[in-house]
């Protein structure tokens, strides 16, 4: 069974559209994250939730809205997509909140804006 | 300017050679992690170090955290083609992990 699964794996859409990415973890972890990896492979934190509560919101445009219906799920909705949003988005989870916790990543969602 | 500078950016070596990847900063980190990422997949954790001067070994990989907790290195002995991938260091800074830009390693057989 996949520990951290995100869907879809690929997302190709037009500028201005709204899209969502879903993430689920079956590890029983308390903390979940969204990261953005750009074309140069630089990975940067966007959001972190601990037990459904928003802990980190890293100066991300408010077109990006995360939602955690329960601690096993963290979804990302993006409004009015822009060319600069093209990237690979990774969901991750860790047992607890803390920078020494092992983070388990999904396989990413490659978002391409036309 | 990135908080964590990784070097080299790209490394292409022959099977059997040794190599070292460096992760440097002027800032102090509470912990340091190393991840390996293969194409089309997410990063996979290799190690976490939390104490200044700490050394951890994972088979042919040796990880070291600097005494002042500002830098780290990853040394691979007798590299194999299966070691090919993107190596990322990540430091605990405040309440988040800050990643380096990565080192792309290619091991040729």
Q: pLDDT tens, A21-65?
A: 999 999 999 999 999 999 999 999 999 999 989 999 987 899 999
The whole-angstrom distance between A16's CA and the closest CA on chain B is: 26
Say what the pLDDT of residue B60 is: 98
pLDDT in tens, B70-93: 999 999 999 999 999 999 999 999
Say what the pLDDT of residue A1 is: 64
Say what the pLDDT of residue B32 is: 97
Q: Is A78 on the interface with B (CB under 8 A)?
A: no
Q: Is A102 on the interface with B (CB under 8 A)?
A: yes
Q: Which of B34, B42, B50, B93 to mutate to test the interface with A (most CBs of A within 10 A)?
A: B42
Tell me if B50 and A105 make a contact (CB, 8 A cut-off): no
pLDDT in tens, A83-110: 999 999 999 999 999 989 999 999 999 9
Residue B11 to residues B4, B15, B23, B68, Cα–Cα distance (Å): 18, 12, 14, 27
Rounded Cα distance between B25 and B17, Å, is 27
Rounded Cα distance between B81 and A96, Å, is 34
Say what the pLDDT of residue B2 is: 78
Residues on B contacting A at a C-beta cutoff of 8 Å: 2, 30-31, 33, 37, 40-45, 48, 50, 86, 88, 90-93, 95-99, 101-102, 104
Which residue do the tokens 């953005």 mark? A36
- Number of other residues whose CB lies within 10 A of the CB of residue A13: 15
Closest CA to A7 of A25, A23, A19: A23
Say what the pLDDT of residue A78 is: 97
Say what the pLDDT of residue A30 is: 96
Rounded Cα distance between B79 and A87, Å, is 31
Rounded Cα distance between B26 and B5, Å, is 10
Below-70 pLDDT ranges, chain B? 1
Question: Is B7:B68 a contact under the CB 8 Å cutoff?
Answer: no
Q: Which of A25, A37, A43 to mutate to test the interface with B (most CBs of B within 10 A)?
A: A43
Say what the pLDDT of residue B1 is: 63
The burial of A69, by beta-carbon neighbours within 10 Å (0-12 exposed, 13-18 middle, 19 or more buried), is given as exposed
Say what the pLDDT of residue A3 is: 93
Picking from A41, A98, A106, the nearest residue to B42 by CB comes out as: A106
Rounded Cα distance between A71 and A6, Å, is 15
Residues B2-23 as b or e (16 or more Cβ within 10 Å = b):
eebbbeeeebebeeeeebebbb
As a whole number, mean pLDDT of residues A60-83 equals 95
């Amino acid at each position: 069974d996949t520990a951290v699964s995100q869907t879809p794996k690929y997302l190709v859409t037009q500028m201005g559209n709204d899209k969502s990415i879903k993430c689920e973890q079956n590890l029983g972890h308390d903390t979940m994250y969204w990261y953005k990896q750009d074309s140069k492979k630089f990975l940067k934190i966007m959001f972190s939730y601990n037990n459904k509560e928003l802990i980190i919101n890293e100066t991300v445009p408010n077109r990006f809205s995360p939602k955690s219906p329960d601690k096993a799920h963290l979804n990302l909705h993006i409004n009015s997509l822009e060319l600069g949003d093209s990237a690979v988005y990774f969901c991750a989870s860790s047992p607890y909140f803390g920078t020494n916790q092992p983070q388990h990543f999904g396989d990413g969602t490659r978002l391409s804006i036309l | 300017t990135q908080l964590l500078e990784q070097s080299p950016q790209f490394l292409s070596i022959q099977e059997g050679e040794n190599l070292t990847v460096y992760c440097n900063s002027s800032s102090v980190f509470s912990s340091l992690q190393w991840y390996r990422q293969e194409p089309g997949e997410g990063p996979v954790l290799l190690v976490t170090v939390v104490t200044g001067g700490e050394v951890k070994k994972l088979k042919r990989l040796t990880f070291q955290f600097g005494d002042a907790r500002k830098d780290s290195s990853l040394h691979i002995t007798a590299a194999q083609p299966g070691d090919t991938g993107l190596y990322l260091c990540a430091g605990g800074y405040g309440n988040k992990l800050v990643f380096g830009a990565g080192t792309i390693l290619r091991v040729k057989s």
